[in-house]
Amino acid sequence: MAKMHSRKRGRSGSSKPLHKTKPSWVRMKEKEVELLIVKLAKEGKSASMIGLELRDSYGIPDVKTIVGKRITEVLVEKDHAPKIPEDLLALMRRALSTRKHLEANRQDMPALRGTQLLDSKIKRLFKYYHRIGKLPISFKYDPKQLKLYTQ
C-alpha cells in the first residue's frame, strides 16, 4: 500500500532474523506473554503498540517465535480484537484530520488531492476486508461519518 501513490522505488528498513528460534535471553513462557498481551489490550493499546511495548519494556523481540501466533491472533482468541482492523482505522484517522484541515484551509489543493488518494486507499481496504470476511458486508465507508468510526 505504501508505494501506490508515490514515486518512490521501495521501502528500506530492518529485516527479521533468518532463524525462527526463541532467543536465549527471553525468560518468559508462552502463557505469560499471552497474559501480558491481554493486559496491554485491556489498557486500550493496539496490536502494534503492544508489540512495541513488549520489545522495549520486556525484551521480547518477536511474539510469534515465543507464542507461535501473532499478536492479533492472540487477541482474537481472547476476544479482545478490535472491530475495525488497525491499518484501516489509522487511514480513517488520517482522512479525518485532513478533512478537518481542508475545512479551515479551503484553497489547499494538495491536501484535497491527498484526501482523494486516502479515500481510494480506504475504499480498497474496505473491499479487501469485506472479501476475506473481517468486516461485515453491511459495514460501509462514508466519509461524512468518519468521526463515528474513529472514536
How would residue 51 be classed by pLDDT, with cut points 50, 70 and 90? Answer: very high
How would residue 130 be classed by pLDDT, with cut points 50, 70 and 90? Answer: very high
CATH topology of domain 86-149: Helix Hairpins (1.10.287)
DSSP type of residue 23: -
What does the pLDDT look like over 65-80, one tens digit per residue?
999 999 999 999 999 9
Residue of 10 and 60 predicted with greater confidence: 60
* C-alpha cell recorded at residue 140: 460501509
Domain residue spans of the chain: 30-77, 86-149
DSSP labels, 58-103:
H--S-HHHHHSS-HHHHHHHTT---SS-HHHHHHHHHHHHHHHHHH
